[in-house]
Chains A and B, each alone.
Chain A
Amino acid sequence: MEEQSILERIKRIIGEADLVWVDDQLGDSYLVIPKEKLRRLAIYLKGDFHLAFDTLMCLSGVHNMGEQDEMEVVYHLYSIRHRHQFILKVKLDRPAFFPHFYLRVDSLSGIWPAAAWMEREAYDMFGIHFVGHDDFRRLLLPPDWEGHPLQKDYRESEVYRGISTTREEIEGILAEESG
């Protein structure tokens, strides 16, 4: 099915309000939807016979710090049955105070189990919380790691478990050793 007819079907289900279709000049166009509608739409996208998005190819977090501090969760969907793809985006505000309270979105791991690990990774790297996830913890980084490294304003802490992470200190030690 063509992108536009998929879009028509989606509009029929969740209504046209608050949907933003972005025609990307470079490559892939995408649909931005409000996060309240995500779960309902995802169930439909997977279950509908004519859409049948059976795989979640990729789930990515994105952090933009331009005019507005916001995070995005991007879902690349593909239907192997019908051979078509669609891209969904959810935008989340990231206010300066209590950001973790705002960075919340429904987990889709019950719909596409592949999302389970990708969501854990997105939490690990961006600090986005996925509500309704069975086993929600960090994936790649150790549990006691501070901060979420792919945030644009991330600062590495200078010490991790008593080991310095800065180059200056290591160079200082080396200089001392060589006398």
Chain B
Amino acid sequence: MPLTTETMVLNMGPHHPSTHGVLRFILRTDGEVIHLCRPDVGYLHRGLEKIAEQLPYAHFMPYTDRLDYLAAMNCNLGYAITVEKAANIEVPLRAEYVRVLVAELNRIISHLISVGTFAMDIGAVTPFTHTIREREWVNDLFEELCGGRLTYNYVRFGGVAFDLPDGFLDRLNRFLDYFEPRLEQYNRFISKNKIFKERLVGVAVISPQQALDYALVGPNLRASGINWDLRRDEPYSVYGDLEFDVPVGAAEYGVVGDCYSRYWIRIWEMEQSVRILRQCIAKMPEGPHWNRSKKKLKVEPGEIYVRTEAPRGELGFYLISQGGPKPHRLRIRTGSFSAMSIVEEVGSGLMVADLVALIASLDVVAPEVDR
């Protein structure tokens, strides 16, 4: 008689500290090994695409904040660029720089949360308090700028809602001076920690082919060794005038595309964001911050697909207009959605504890999956 083991169905979530919002996984396990991993999403579905069809263009802006609450500025920006392209709205140069500035600042705090929760998910609670401390400073800066600490509703069609307050750039500079050495501290503290590396190196490898097949985007795609960044390859706003490197997974430890490379990419990206921010501060031009038009917003019939690089990768808005005051259809394509769809493929065969590392490394945010 052959020796057999029994499989068990294990329900993980929807309320599990590591699941970054409300996610549920149905696992068929054999001991500690996962045979089959089925993500179950939709707990945070708010019907954003349906809401978009029922509101005038400008009224949908606050909803994009809630699309990905960790990177509200980037979502604002993506939507604003889409409508501007469709309606031919000019943006003053100062506004472009302010937009890039807030987008990169938001990228930093989004990656901070990602790195902090990553460490927390695999058992190190302290780093999270450190990253949150830095994030708090940026939240204060944003509050000064637009009054919001999490959902900003700051970007407008044709500019931004408020000009920079007096002395904002100095205070931002002070934050950057403080923040840059912190990154080195994180490296000593987390990245080069032996236990942390043992836990992540070589775990849940996503090959470049898999990454393309599942349409992974942003840091997850680059961690698999594919050199692709919209900010550099299809520059929008003023990214074309700024100098920065695009970090690509190169396997300092382990292999390209494992959990550790996905973590490491985010630390690098924060470094590059700091570089972009410093250039923005140096180049910030004078001028109006909002090309506010008195005319009613008019979008000709037609369709347009615009994507921008948010912290969780490409954020695509597919807008179909029939000429009315409301969009005929607004499809939102997010990075977490495709990251979530690959979990079933990569997660099968892992240990249960490594699944937690995989989800954390993909930096999935549940509201962005469900929309």
Q: List the A side residues contacting B212 at CB < 8 Å.
A: 54-55, 80
Q: How many residues of B contact A (CB 8 A)?
A: 42
Interface string of A14-39 (1 = CB under 8 A from B): 00000000001111101000000000
- Verify B41–A139 contact, CB threshold 8 A: yes
Q: How many residues of A contact B (CB 8 A)?
A: 34
**For chain B residues 207-230, which have a beta carbon within 8 Å of chain A?**
212-215, 226, 228
Minimum distance in angstroms from A11 CB to a CB of chain B: 23
- Verify B329–A62 contact, CB threshold 8 A: yes
Measured in the bound complex, the distance between the Cα atoms of B215 and A58 in whole Å is 9
- Verify A55–B215 contact, CB threshold 8 A: yes
**For chain A residues 95-137, which have a beta carbon within 8 Å of chain B?**
112-114, 116-117, 125
Count of inter-chain pairs, beta carbons less than 8 A: 94
- Verify A25–B302 contact, CB threshold 8 A: yes
Q: List the B side residues contacting A62 at CB < 8 Å.
A: 320, 328-329
- Verify B42–A57 contact, CB threshold 8 A: no
Minimum distance in angstroms from A140 CB to a CB of chain B: 4
- Verify A26–B228 contact, CB threshold 8 A: no
- Verify B333–A58 contact, CB threshold 8 A: yes
- Verify B45–A58 contact, CB threshold 8 A: no
Give me the interface of B with A, judged by CB distance under 8 Å.
41-42, 45, 47, 49-50, 53, 85-86, 212-215, 226, 228, 233, 299-307, 314, 316, 318, 320-322, 328-329, 331, 333, 337-338, 340-341, 345, 370-371
Q: Which 10 A-B pairs have the closest CB atoms?
A: A26-B302, A27-B304, A114-B215, A140-B42, A117-B341, A60-B331, A58-B333, A140-B45, A54-B212, A113-B213
> Can you list 15 A-B contacts with CB-CB less than 8 angstroms, sorted by A residue number?
A26-B303, A55-B212, A55-B213, A58-B318, A58-B333, A64-B328, A66-B322, A74-B318, A112-B215, A113-B214, A113-B341, A114-B213, A139-B42, A140-B45, A141-B42
